[in-house]
Amino acid sequence: MTHGIEADIEVAIQRANADAWNCIAVVLADRALEQARALDREMAGSRSAPPLAGVPFVVKSLFDVKGEPTLAGGPPDPSISVAAADSALVRQLSEAGAILIGIAHMDEYAYGFLGDNAHYGRVINPRDSSKVTGGSSSGSAAAVAAGIVPFAIGSDTNGSIRVPGALCGVYGLKPSFDHLSLAGSRALAQSLDHAGLLASSLSGLEAVWRVLAKAEPSPPDVGTGVSVGFASGDYERLADRGVREAMHALRAEWPEAPIIELDHVEESFAAASLVTAFEASRNHREIREQSPYRYSVTIASRLDSAAHVSLTDYALAKSYQGLLTQQFADLFVARRIDVLVAPCTPVKTLGVGEESVMLADTMMKASDAAGLFTRPFSLAGYPVLMLPAEATDSPGCALQLIGRPGDEHVLFSFAREVMKRLG
């Protein structure tokens, strides 16, 4: 009979092998058990426990895992070499005692928002199988929501952590741009790509963040002194009735907080789409020329369209990115706020097979609507902590808590205050 960390990891591996949600692509049993045994031996020899000792996790398949091919949601291909080393985040977490038990499915090459992959099928939402998981970190979010692991690594280009986190009912963090290493991962759009985290609890999310960011825990009472503002304008106009009502109920808890009219959503959507398309097309050009069979019809068509984005349009989109970033900086100063609160998605859920939704007077593709409210903050590179609707009794919709670059500790403190008041 096994004991200690090894026994716990055996149970986590059993959960991964029993995956009923199509969220795990590869179970890394041998690797996980070897690390668990090594930790048990070290800790029996009086070594103090590392901060994440024995905590199992999974990683999105665009991050390198030593000895495994990095498929990034693409099809199996024997010509792809296995990774010579772990990606930087996997290595950091392993050094902190966390144990990688599997590689998670994702939208093909991270170029999708609904959690459906032509090569591997749809990741099923553990909260409600009739609803989509969202993407592209679909497997990571579902693995946490299903209780297979308490946290997972994902990536977020235009909302790919926050959207599946919101739709699967788990916590998510898109840190400030470039604050977590993407070394050893497959790029979609390097101007927008962020590494980030999904977790089953706020405390777990913060513990992993502190390890990766080498940050000290924030004082427990900091959140009570945070100045908050609530996004309105496009974030109200384009939201459905349920999300609007939930936000109004939340705002009533902070009656003195400013309501901030923001009308940048559609422009941000266009700019982020152009930047993503231009950079994704170039990142995939060589592989598409050499190995076109690695791409589904849908993604090949998307990349074909992306190839027509001109350098002029890309330059204009990058210019808008700079302007938006400065506007946010000015906004936080002018309105004297530390945190901006906005809904994560304009609708609380999206049904499987639901191809479009009506937002205000506009019919929009479901995949576009999913990331409509998340794109501006990726474009600006601001940190966002996502609280799922399940985190509180009141709001009824997932929330984005947006802070200044480097202020992730403020977001965690304020999130605790939100949950204290409403949970």
pLDDT digits (tens, 9 = 90+) for 56-105: 999 999 999 999 999 999 999 999 999 999 999 999 999 999 999 999 99
Which spans in 263-348 are helix H?
Answer: 265-290, 297-306, 311-334
Q: Is 336 helix (H, G, I), strand (E, B) or coil?
A: coil
Give the DSSP per-residue string, 213-267: HT-PPPPTTGGGG--EEEEEEHHHHTS-HHHHHHHHHHHTTSTTSPEEEE--HHH
Which tokens belong to 330? 């000015």
Question: Which pLDDT does position 217 carry in this prediction?
Answer: 62
pLDDT over threshold 60, residue 223: no
Confidence band of 394 (pLDDT split at 50, 70, 90)? low
Question: Which pLDDT does position 222 carry in this prediction?
Answer: 53
136, 140, 296, 378: which one is catalytic?
A: 136
pLDDT over threshold 80, residue 151: yes
Confidence band of 362 (pLDDT split at 50, 70, 90)? confident
60, 131, 174, 348: which one is catalytic?
A: 60
- Region for 175 from its dihedrals, namely left if φ exceeds 0, alpha if ψ lies in -120 to 50, beta otherwise: beta
129 is catalytic: no
60 is catalytic: yes
Which tokens belong to 396? 């009824």
Average pLDDT, the chain: 95
130 is catalytic: no
Domain ranges (residues) in the chain? 4-213, 224-264+318-422
Check: CATH 3.90.1300.10 for 4-213? yes
Tokens 């993503």 sit on residue: 276
- pTM of the full structure: 0.96
Question: Which pLDDT does position 422 carry in this prediction?
Answer: 85
Question: Which pLDDT does position 361 carry in this prediction?
Answer: 86
Taking residues 320-330, report their average pLDDT: 98
Confidence band of 393 (pLDDT split at 50, 70, 90)? low
94, 137, 155, 160: which one is catalytic?
A: 160
Peptide bond into 130 cis (omega under 30): no
